[in-house]
Amino acid sequence: METVSESNSQSFRALVVEESASGNFTASVRKRKTNDLPAGGLLVKVCFSGLNYKDALSFSGNKGITRRYPHTPGIDAAGIVAESTDPGFAQGDEILVTGYDLGMNTSGGLAEYIRVPSRWAVHRPANLSLKECMIIGTSGFTAASAILEIMNHGISPDSGKVLVTGASGAVGITAVAMLAHAGYRVVASTGKSEAAPLLKTLGAEEIISREDVSDQSGRPLLPGRWVAAIETVGGNTLSTVIRSTAERGIVTNCGMIASNNLDVSVFPFILRAVRLVGIASAETPMNRRIELWNLIAGKLKFPGLESISHMITLEQVPDALNAMLKSASTGKIVVRI
């Protein structure tokens, strides 16, 4: 068992977001010290991180995500254990952390080092590299969690079409690839026509526009078009998806980029027995977390994983997060730390 030693503190690079007296937020790469990191059983040298919408919100000063600044965002990290107080983890172990409080109010993965409770850490799955773990990251983990709900509901590849909304985003694009690799017939909805060729390459059977899943008629039920859906947008899109889901289908929702409101009658639920399931990944219990990572590394690991991502440096993160806030990014952005 390795012991964390405060006397061996070292400097490292981190993206630091600061709040000015006027309430503006700026970000830059700065030097920090490991003994300034919060308490935790593992000191981890970060190799890769991956950007998520929560990182963009923290970066922009959203106090619902991060209460105090200066702060280092980054809700995902994959790296090598440098020091440990937990016999379950040894120096040199390759691990990943997604979710919990990392990058929200705990100094996050957009830095060369993190210190976290050992109960947050997962040993790297044998069939995934650290880089691949971060291409998946919270977004892919969320997609896999939704897919597991669909599988557990009894929806098989022969049951009918599965819709993915926001299909060019990090959750959506990973969901499309995972579902298609598992044999499902995927309908991908996106507002970015330029993403269609990649979605087709990843296995989407049909590409539809954002407007195709935004019904304005107000009808309580619409013709059933799919038997399951992974919905990432919220608002009227979620309402339309629910009303268009076939008998005894399931809709999973993990996003609200359009709206956090839902206006839908009870008819889909009491006449078609449609099930609506919320997907929240941050506090996933460890036994299910390990089950999901094994599913990701096995049945859901698709060829061409790197094709849905592109790599940037720590210095390029502010521009990437600004683009994410403007819905101008596609796929998964991985940060080489």
* 30 pLDDT higher than 70: yes
Q: What is the mean pLDDT of residues 8-35?
A: 93
pLDDT of residue 40: 87
Percent of the chain with pLDDT over 70: 98
CA 286 to CA 288: how far, in whole Å? 5
Report the relative pairing of strands 76-84 and 94-98 from DSSP bridges. Answer: antiparallel
pTM of the model: 0.93
CB-CB contact of 337 with 47 (8 Å): yes
* 329 pLDDT higher than 50: yes
* 5 pLDDT higher than 50: no
Q: Taking the domains of the chain in order of start, what are their residue ranges? A: 6-124+306-336, 139-278
pLDDT of residue 330: 80
Name the amino acid, one letter, at 194: E
Question: Tens of pLDDT along 33-82?
Answer: 999 999 889 999 999 999 999 999 999 999 999 999 999 999 999 999 99
* Residue 1 pLDDT class (50, 70, 90 cuts): very low
* Distances from the Cα of 309 to the Cα of 150, 168, 281, 329, angstroms: 25, 11, 21, 11
* Residue 6 pLDDT class (50, 70, 90 cuts): very low
Q: What is the mean pLDDT of residues 311-321?
A: 97
Report the relative pairing of strands 332-336 and 206-209 from DSSP bridges. Answer: unpaired
* Residue 327 pLDDT class (50, 70, 90 cuts): confident
Question: Tens of pLDDT along 143-175?
Answer: 999 999 999 999 999 999 999 999 999 999 999
- The conformation of residue 42, written as its DSSP 8-state character, comes to E
At the second CATH level, the architecture of 6-124+306-336 is: Alpha-Beta Complex (3.90)
User: Domain spanning 139-278: which superfamily?
Assistant: NAD(P)-binding Rossmann-like Domain (3.40.50.720)
pLDDT of residue 319: 96
* Residue 113 β-bridge partners: 45
pLDDT of residue 99: 92
